[in-house]
Amino acid sequence: MLDPYKIREDFPILKRKINNHPLIYFDSAATSQKPRQVIEAIKEFYEKHNANVHRAVHTLSQEASELYENAHEEVAKFINANGMEEIIFVRGTTEAINLVAYAWGLRNLKREDEVLVTLMEHHSNIVPWENLSKINGFQVKYAEVKDDGTLNYEAFENAISDKTKIVCLPHVSNVTGVINDVKRVVKMAHECGSLVLVDGAQSVPHLPVDVKDLDIDFLAFSGHKMLGPTGIGVLYGKRRVLEEMEPFHGGGEMIREVTFDTITRRCSISWNDLPWKFEAGTPNTCGGVGLMAAVKYLKDVGMENVKAHEETLTGYVMHLVQECKKVRIHGPKDASVKCGIIPFGVDGLGSHDVALFLDGYGIMIRSGFHCAQPLHEKFKLKSSARVSFYVYNTREEIHRFVDVLKETERF
């Protein structure tokens, strides 16, 4: 098991006080805090190596290019991809999903086709497909979710057919923390000839993810949710699929050659090798360096340890919150089927009221729809409060949280 007290020493922000109370950060599903190792890696890059990558032969450019390529390699190893050719750096999960929608979907989805998603999706895995369906005319279908927030696999199986060209689902729900059986879904999808896109924003930071074992075609995730900086994320894609796709953005870096034909008066363009084919323009080199430092940090901690720690904290909250009379937990109560995410409500109070009350005691939580309004409608909720844990959270913080919840009830 990891030692959260030792880990906390690496996070400067956790020494802050909010409203004269020690900061308790329970909003890591929205964004994680950053360890000193990541902060120092970013600082060192700008102080010693800053230059544009793949643009020059001078020393700084060569150093920056090597760091940026090493970052791709580290991420590839972290999720067990075949190499950096399968790792595309983007701004985050949202851009990764949009890349698949427009670089693959725009050219491959026809009017008679279907895209299958679930009712537990983050909006970023709904909106791109709905927007694209207005252009190409295909149908977006939604797999049902059970009343406890788990995926209805039987309904999912009934919804998939030979018309289904891509299946999209979250590995972990950002509302309930439910861990979906991705391998089961992949088997169904591949038997029907469908590709599979997995939203890994809440899984890659919190549990071991092996893309070869899962056999998924695409995986999208964000650096800022896994101890890295904002503005950097990853799209993993199987090499054969990426090679068949056209680029998403056009510009510098993603081309091999642009030549002008004086007869046709047109430019002839050929694409760069993977992954650069999908990374147009000056990249977020510093973000890649920060993400590499975050990946190394998590590898040192051990992803099995991260998962076990969060499961322990989740179970502990489930146990202690039984002492509260007006607190209602939404979704499954079994900590073993979840990552460290718990949505809840307090009778008589809106989620924002609960969040503001807790903020008065230095406890940071999320409130609202969490960019997943259809799932809240399924639960018949106007919104929910949400606590989410990570490697730096402790049992003492949970005790404090439950004590303040009791104060909230009295309020």
DSSP 105: I
Find out whether 232 and 31 touch, Cβ atoms under 8 Å: no
pLDDT (average), residues 172-182: 96
pTM, 2 dp: 0.96
Rounded to 10 degrees, what is the CA torsion of 203, 158, 127, 205? Answer: 0
Q: Within this chain, do residues 259 and 332 fall inside the same structural domain, yes or no? A: no
- pLDDT given for residue 299 in this prediction: 98
Q: Within this chain, do residues 375 and 266 fall inside the same structural domain, yes or no? A: no
- pLDDT given for residue 409 in this prediction: 86
Q: Within this chain, do residues 385 and 275 fall inside the same structural domain, yes or no? A: no
Q: Within this chain, do residues 205 and 68 fall inside the same structural domain, yes or no? A: yes
Q: Within this chain, do residues 234 and 201 fall inside the same structural domain, yes or no? A: yes
Place of tokens 């090679």: 243
Per-residue CA distances from 373 to 147, 174, 179, 351, 383 (Å): 15, 12, 19, 14, 8
Residue 159 has pLDDT above 90, yes or no: yes
Helix and strand numbers, DSSP H then E, in the chain = 15, 17
Q: At which of 265, 299, 333 does a domain end?
A: 299
Write down the mean pLDDT value for the chain: 96
CATH of residue 12: 3.90.1150.10
Q: Within this chain, do residues 319 and 221 fall inside the same structural domain, yes or no? A: no
Per-residue pLDDT band for 252 (boundaries 50, 70, 90) equals confident
pLDDT (average), residues 329-347: 93
Residue 371 designated active-site: yes
Residues 6+ apart with CB under 8 A from 41: 289, 290, 292, 293
Angle at which helix 303-320 crosses helix 285-301, to 10 degrees, equals 70
Q: Within this chain, do residues 338 and 359 fall inside the same structural domain, yes or no? A: yes
Of the given ranges (101-105, 253-257, 353-357), which has the lowest mean pLDDT?
253-257
* Domain enclosing residue 384, as ranges: 4-30+302-410
Q: Within this chain, do residues 263 and 329 fall inside the same structural domain, yes or no? A: no
- pLDDT given for residue 127 in this prediction: 97
Q: Within this chain, do residues 362 and 229 fall inside the same structural domain, yes or no? A: no
CATH of residue 115: 3.40.640.10
Given 168, 286, 324, 371, the catalytic residue: 371
Residue 302 has pLDDT above 80, yes or no: yes
- pLDDT given for residue 236 in this prediction: 98
Q: At which of 240, 272, 299 does a domain end?
A: 299
- The string of DSSP letters for 176-205 reads T-BBP-HHHHHHHHHHTT-EEEEE-TTTTT
Provide the number of structural domains found in the chain: 2
Residues 6+ apart with CB under 8 A from 244: none
User: Taking CA 348 as the corner, what is the angle to CA 345 and CA 352, rounded to the nearest 5 degrees?
Assistant: 55
Residue 262 has pLDDT above 90, yes or no: no
Burial (0-12, 13-18, 19+ Cβ within 10 Å), 360: middle
Q: Within this chain, do residues 69 and 114 fall inside the same structural domain, yes or no? A: yes
Q: At which of 299, 317, 350 does a domain end?
A: 299
Q: Within this chain, do residues 308 and 206 fall inside the same structural domain, yes or no? A: no
Q: Within this chain, do residues 318 and 286 fall inside the same structural domain, yes or no? A: no
* CA atoms of 396 and 408, how far apart (whole Å): 18
Tell me: the pLDDT tens digits for 78-90? 999 999 999 999 9
